[in-house]
């Protein structure tokens, strides 16, 4: 089998492929597309200046501002899925210009599935979104960050570690953390990420964006929110997370990777409002989500099932 056939068979976005050079040489791209593809492949993100219309952003802030407290430090600091309530949030998540770029990068139909809106910087520690959202095949997920006002060193801009997306997708199991229902262990994951970036000699980079600019990061790019130097300064922003069609979607943080018990996601496409069927190569996948949590799932289930079988053999009917 030749290299091109091998490369084309892989279940990976072409911009994330180890055969990227081969795949790009097969395409006819303009200069702008070439730059986007190379940047995304090499650095793990791209910036699209002024992609979202100022009027739509103003409308969105107007719609959602009463949902937030006046001052930094008061709750709620963020809102998830305001698209269900405000058409403007949904319009940003469904913007044609964003869809076009995502179709180019992933060659599958994008599925916006979650919005987060912030009034202030998040000061989130370094993480990869793959701890929260992943899929089979892997890497058909990305984050799209929209600046709803200019960011600078004072209002907690985004930071990221260029090229960090090239690493494996870390999950709790392979870094030795046991998940708990209440998120209590999440800081251990963050400790790991910082130590990992440090030992890998990655350097965090801040990015200052202008209102309307869009940053797309690869599913596995390590990023976060820088400290806020001026607590008065707002940093209105919207992040939309996207999957792509034809995958099985799950939450690694809530999955038991050892038992391959994936906590599957209920995905709703923000643009179409349709529930998304998990699928592979156009075929629907029948999925069973136990809804149970980690280790408790497989062990309790196995013991209970075993006990049931044994009793059934003895008494000749199902005991419970």
Ligand X SMILES: O=C(O)CCC(=O)C(=O)O
Q: Mark 131-170 with x for binding to ligand X (rule: CB under 6 A) and - for no binding.
A: ------------x--------------x------------
The tokens for 184 are 């209590």
110 binds, among ligand X, Fe ion, none (CB under 5 to 8 A by kind): none
- Give exposure, 268-306, as e/b (b: 16+ Cβ within 10 Å): bbbbeeeebebeeeeeeeeeeeeeeebeebbeeeeeeee
Interacting positions 258-297 with ligand X (CB under 6 A): none
Question: What number of chain residues touch ligand X (CB under 6 A)?
Answer: 12
Stretch near ligand X under the rule CB under 6 A, chosen from 2-10, 113-121, 134-142, 288-296: 113-121
DSSP 30: -
Q: Is 131 a binder of Fe ion (CB under 5 A)?
A: no
Find the binder of ligand X among 110, 212, 225, 252 (CB under 6 A). 225
DSSP states along 79-114: EE-GGGT-HHHHHHHT-HHHHHHHHHHHSS-EEEEE
Find the binder of ligand X among 16, 43, 129, 256 (CB under 6 A). 129
Stretch near ligand X under the rule CB under 6 A, chosen from 69-77, 116-124, 265-273, 293-301: 116-124
Strands in 158-160's sheet, in edge-to-edge order, are 205-207, 158-160, 223-225
Half-sphere exposure of 22 (CA within 13 A, CB side): 12
Find the binder of ligand X among 41, 119, 223, 294 (CB under 6 A). 223
d(CA 173, CA 126): 19
Closest-by-Cβ residue to ligand X is 225
CB-based contact 52:214 (threshold 8 Å): yes
Closest-by-Cβ residue to Fe ion is 129
The tokens for 155 are 């209002």
Hunting for tokens 């809804």 — which residue is that? Answer: 291
Distance between alpha carbon 1 and the CA centroid of its chain, in Å?
A: 34
225 binds, among Fe ion, ligand X, none (CB under 5 to 8 A by kind): ligand X
CB of 199 to Fe ion, least distance (A): 21
Q: Is residue 137 reached through a cis peptide bond, with omega within 30 degrees of 0 on the bond before it? A: yes
Strand-pairing partners, residue 117, are 79, 238
CB-based contact 10:4 (threshold 8 Å): no
CB-based contact 109:103 (threshold 8 Å): yes
Q: Which is nearer to Fe ion, 17 or 237 (CB)?
A: 237
CB of 129 to ligand X, least distance (A): 5
Q: Mark 291-310 with x for binding to Fe ion (rule: CB under 5 A) and - for no binding.
A: --------------------
Q: Which is nearer to ligand X, 124 or 287 (CB)?
A: 124
Find the binder of Fe ion among 43, 52, 118, 129 (CB under 5 A). 129
Which spans of this chain sit near Fe ion (rule: CB under 5 A)? 129
Which spans of this chain sit near ligand X (rule: CB under 6 A)? 116, 118, 121-122, 124, 129, 143, 158, 223, 225, 237, 239
């Amino acid at each position: 089998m030749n290299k091109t056939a091998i490369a084309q068979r892989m279940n990976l976005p072409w911009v994330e492929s180890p055969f990227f050079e081969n795949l790009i040489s097969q395409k006819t791209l303009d200069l702008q597309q070439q730059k986007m593809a190379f940047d995304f492949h090499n650095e793990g993100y791209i910036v699209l200046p002024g992609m979202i219309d100022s009027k739509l952003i103003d409308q969105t802030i107007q719609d959602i501002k009463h949902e937030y407290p006046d001052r930094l430090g008061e709750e709620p600091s963020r809102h998830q899925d305001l698209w269900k309530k405000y058409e403007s949030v949904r319009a940003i998540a469904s913007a044609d210009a964003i869809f076009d770029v995502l179709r180019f990068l992933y060659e599958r139909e994008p599925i916006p599935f979650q919005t987060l809106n912030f009034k202030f910087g998040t000061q989130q520690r370094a993480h990869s979104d793959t701890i929260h959202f992943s899929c089979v095949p892997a890497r058909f997920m990305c984050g799209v960050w929209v600046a709803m006002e200019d960011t600078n060193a004072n209002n907690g801009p985004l930071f990221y570690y260029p090229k960090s997306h090239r690493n494996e997708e870390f999950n709790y199991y392979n870094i030795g953390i046991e998940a708990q229902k209440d998120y209590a262990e999440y800081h251990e994951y963050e400790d790991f990420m910082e130590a990992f970036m440090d030992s890998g000699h990655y350097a965090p980079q801040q990015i200052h964006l202008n209102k309307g600019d869009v940053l797309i990061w690869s599913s596995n790019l390590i990023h976060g929110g820088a400290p806020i130097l001026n607590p008065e300064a707002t940093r209105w922003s919207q992040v939309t997370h996207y999957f792509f069609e034809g995958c099985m979607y799950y939450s690694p943080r809530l999955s038991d990777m050892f038992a391959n018990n994936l906590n599957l996601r209920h995905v709703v496409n923000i643009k179409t409002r349709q529930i998304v069927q998990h699928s592979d190569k156009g075929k629907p996948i029948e999925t069973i989500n136990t809804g149970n949590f980690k280790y408790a799932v497989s062990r309790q289930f196995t013991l209970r099932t075993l006990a049931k079988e044994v009793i059934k053999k003895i008494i000749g009917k199902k005991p419970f």
